[in-house]
C-alpha cells in the first residue's frame, strides 16, 4: 500500500472516531474543571494551617468556599471550535482573599474576643472590634491560581491518555 493510501486510511479511521473524541474532550474539560473547583475550595478559608489552627476568622461561615462550586461553570459549553468551562467565585471580596489586600484600621461589628481568648464573630451580638491596627497587609491565598494549575495538570494527563487511545 502506498504511503498516501495508508495515510488516507488512517484519516478515515480518525474521522470515524471523531464523535468519541469530542465526547472524551468534553469529559476531560468537565473533570478538570471539577478538580479545579475542588482545589480552589481546599485553599479557601475557613481552612487550617499545617498545625491544625483554623484560619479565616472573617470568613468562618464557609460562604466564600461554597461559591466556587455555585459560581463555576463545570459543564463545557461549545463555542465555535472550543469547549469552555469557567472557574469563578462571585463573592464581592473573593479577589481580596485571592490576591491579597492592604488593611486600613476599621470597625467590624459582631467581632469579639470570647471567654477562651479566641476571636469570634456573631453578627447578632451588639459588639465589635477595631481591626487593622497591627496588620497592614494581608497576603493573598491564590486560590484561583491553584485551581488553574490543577486544571492544567489534569488536562495534560488526560489528553496524554486520549492520544494513546486514539493513535495505537
pTM of the model: 0.74
For cell 473547583, the residue is: 37
Tell me what percent of the residues of the chain surpass a pLDDT of 90. Answer: 55
Cell of 122: 456573631
For cell 471550535, the residue is: 81
Give the 3-state secondary structure of residue 161.
helix
**Would you give the DSSP letter of residue 102?**
E
For residues 128 and 111, is the Cβ–Cβ distance under 8 A?
Answer: yes
| 91 phi, psi to nearest 5 deg | -65, 140
pLDDT tens digits along 62-108: 889 999 999 999 999 999 989 999 999 999 989 999 999 888 888 88
pLDDT tens digits along 50-60: 566 665 555 56
Q: What is the 3-state secondary structure (H, E, C) of 54-99?
A: EECHHHCCCHHHHHHHHHCEEEEEEECCEEEEECCCCCCCHHHHHH
Strand partners, 120: 112
Domain residue limits at 133: 3-166
Concatenated DSSP letters of 3-45: HHHHHHHHHHHHHHHHHHHHHHHHHHHHHHHHHHHHHHHHHSS
pLDDT given at position 61: 73
Total domains present in the chain: 1
Amino acid at each position: 500500500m502506498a504511503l498516501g493510501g495508508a495515510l488516507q486510511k488512517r484519516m478515515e479511521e480518525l474521522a470515524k472516531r471523531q464523535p468519541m473524541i469530542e465526547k472524551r474532550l468534553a469529559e476531560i474539560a468537565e473533570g478538570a474543571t471539577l478538580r479545579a473547583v475542588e482545589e480552589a475550595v481546599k485553599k479557601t478559608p475557613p481552612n487550617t494551617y499545617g498545625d491544625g489552627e483554623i484560619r479565616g476568622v472573617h470568613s468562618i461561615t464557609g460562604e466564600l468556599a461554597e461559591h466556587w462550586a455555585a459560581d463555576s461553570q463545570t459543564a463545557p459549553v461549545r463555542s465555535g471550535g472550543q469547549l469552555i468551562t469557567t472557574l469563578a467565585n462571585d463573592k464581592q471580596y473573593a479577589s481580596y482573599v485571592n490576591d491579597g489586600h492592604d488593611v486600613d484600621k476599621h470597625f467590624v461589628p459582631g467581632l469579639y474576643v470570647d471567654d477562651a481568648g479566641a476571636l469570634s464573630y456573631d453578627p447578632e451580638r451588639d459588639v465589635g472590634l477595631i481591626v487593622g491596627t497591627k496588620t497592614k497587609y494581608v497576603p493573598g491565598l491564590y486560590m484561583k491560581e491553584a485551581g488553574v494549575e490543577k486544571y492544567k495538570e489534569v488536562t495534560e494527563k488526560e489528553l496524554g491518555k486520549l492520544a494513546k487511545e486514539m493513535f495505537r
